[in-house]
Structure 1
């Protein structure tokens, strides 16, 4: 299925104007709303949109507030954002991205974490050996989930593996990760705990004392965030409120009041640059940040 999607861009990479658009059949679509969550609902195989390839540092994310929800680089205090290399890690230690058609509702307090959602599609760490590229649509299976409490918000971190990975048939639940990827779960927890510290932020906290919940729990979280997205796309939850302002333009959800019949944004079409589906690895800040306390 991933080959059915193409990547186009506008602007210069690593600038605030850079945007990565996803196309299907040569038409721009919304990766947030138009790519289905399930690639195979019976086998519970889900689609994942790669925002940040493994070993890279540029903090890209789906722009939930922009029309067609392109992928853009996060901006803080007027500067594009790069995650620092906290020793012994280099950038992101997995392919990092999001599941389409999911939403962590900021108006709802989770009964398990006692915190509101972070207003984004649910995050996923894909642990397979292939390094992805920005805008790639991978088919993955869910293995588990951690609950990061990021500045007081629930920020779920799914653990998943590409179904085409050589180990995919052997890795089916979170306990298999420890067997075939020893120490990766501990490293993942540690990475999320410290990654903001070089920028002067405190260590992040976790629900469940940092425990990584199993596949069954994780799939329930995915279902919950999918239901939240359904309420949003169907207009049952307002797309604009004090907590959020989301662009709902889509082409595939016939029950949505925001659905568009055709893509007719000719100005955008003129400036889009077609990209080959390439491995996308950059290194803007190769410095290792040694922290006095590794917590």
Structure 2
């Protein structure tokens, strides 16, 4: 809504105060034009409670415009929060090709390792998609869709800052109630070891439970699991590559003490790998 009024110039000050105090929050506009001399015009434009604009013009060549804000608007502007600072890691990494954290190297294994440790989920429970860590970028990539009509029986991933003889981080199968999205990390407790030979190469798996799942966190050793649960796990790994004409052999499950030793060994290999890298 626009209202145009012609009034004497002496009322400018009082009208400005009236406008700033009395105009409500509705999206209305008030435009006042004051004749202040031959060929001169003073225009006051007010919108809401916080903004007004004044222009003095001489038709048609000269125009001088000044803008201002009410005290209320200035106070509001001063109270605005400053822009957030960038994370120090990002600032220090701007010269690199990537600033993303690498889940294998940047995520700590945790002070409770090798008993309780952080692990990164690559494959969701119930998935037929074989996701895996892309070691170059640190992203989770799709490796393949399983050829057999089976799905992963539990969440599957790796333990950060570990290294095995196949130059990959140590694999872990995490038993818990719910599927977890690929790329998430959680706390797990090792309860056993599943020795496995994949295409003639050692590829052992840590069997663990989610340390923060009330249904599973009380398990401390693989012998406490129902026998059928272990049979399901064994059968999955024996069968999931058969249609690819690949051979997988699963040996007898080992107790929690063996899993602690395997995790500690992989932690030591990783530390040695880091030292060799620094020397180079």
State whether structure 2 residue 274 is matched by structure 1 residue 205.
no
Match of 1:223 in 2: 264
Q: Deviations over 1:221-252 (max 9, x none)?
A: 000011111111222xx6xxxxxxxxxxxxxx
Looking at structure 2, the residues matched to 216 and 37 of structure 1 have their Cα atoms a distance apart, in angstroms, of 18
Residue pair 1:148, 1:154 contacting (<8 A) in 2 also? yes
Residue pair 2:173, 2:208 contacting (<8 A) in 1 also? yes
Residue pair 1:38, 1:44 contacting (<8 A) in 2 also? no
Q: Pick closer, same or farther for the CA change 1:139–1:257 going to 2, 3 Å.
A: farther
Question: Helix, strand or coil: the match of 2:141?
Answer: strand
Bigger fraction of residues in helix: 2
Residue pair 2:172, 2:205 contacting (<8 A) in 1 also? yes
Looking at structure 2, the residues matched to 32 and 169 of structure 1 have their Cα atoms a distance apart, in angstroms, of 24
Match of 1:143 in 2: 191
5+ long unaligned stretches in structure 1: 1-26, 75-80, 106-117, 239-255, 259-295
Q: Give the C-alpha shift of residue 44 in structure 1.
A: 2.7
Count of paired positions: 182
Residue pair 2:222, 2:256 contacting (<8 A) in 1 also? yes
Q: Give the C-alpha shift of residue 63 in structure 1.
A: 1.7
Q: Deviations over 1:40-85 (max 9, x none)?
A: 34x8310110000001111111122x14x222122xxxxxx11144
Match of 2:180 in 1: 132
Looking at structure 1, the residues matched to 279 and 215 of structure 2 have their Cα atoms a distance apart, in angstroms, of 42
Looking at structure 2, the residues matched to 171 and 84 of structure 1 have their Cα atoms a distance apart, in angstroms, of 33
Structure ID, larger Rg = 2
Q: Give the C-alpha shift of residue 128 in structure 1.
A: 0.6
Residue pair 2:189, 2:217 contacting (<8 A) in 1 also? no
TM-score, normalised with respect to structure 1:
0.58
Q: Deviations over 1:158-191 (max 9, x none)?
A: 111111112234311111122xxx4111111111
Question: Helix, strand or coil: the match of 2:178?
Answer: coil
Match of 2:275 in 1: 234
Question: Helix, strand or coil: the match of 1:183?
Answer: helix
Q: Which of 56, 71, 75 in structure 1 is aligned with 2:140?
A: 71
Residue pair 1:173, 1:215 contacting (<8 A) in 2 also? yes
Question: Helix, strand or coil: the match of 2:172?
Answer: strand
Match of 1:34 in 2: 106
Question: Helix, strand or coil: the match of 1:234?
Answer: helix
Looking at structure 1, the residues matched to 268 and 217 of structure 2 have their Cα atoms a distance apart, in angstroms, of 29
Alignment of 1:109-124 (within 5 A): 118-124=166-172
Looking at structure 2, the residues matched to 40 and 200 of structure 1 have their Cα atoms a distance apart, in angstroms, of 40
Match of 2:118 in 1: 47
After the TM superposition, list the runs of 4 or more consecutive aligned residues in structure 1 that deviate by more than 3 angstroms: none
Looking at structure 2, the residues matched to 169 and 55 of structure 1 have their Cα atoms a distance apart, in angstroms, of 21
Looking at structure 1, the residues matched to 185 and 133 of structure 2 have their Cα atoms a distance apart, in angstroms, of 13
Match of 1:93 in 2: 153
State whether structure 2 residue 142 is matched by structure 1 residue 82.
no
Match of 1:78 in 2: none
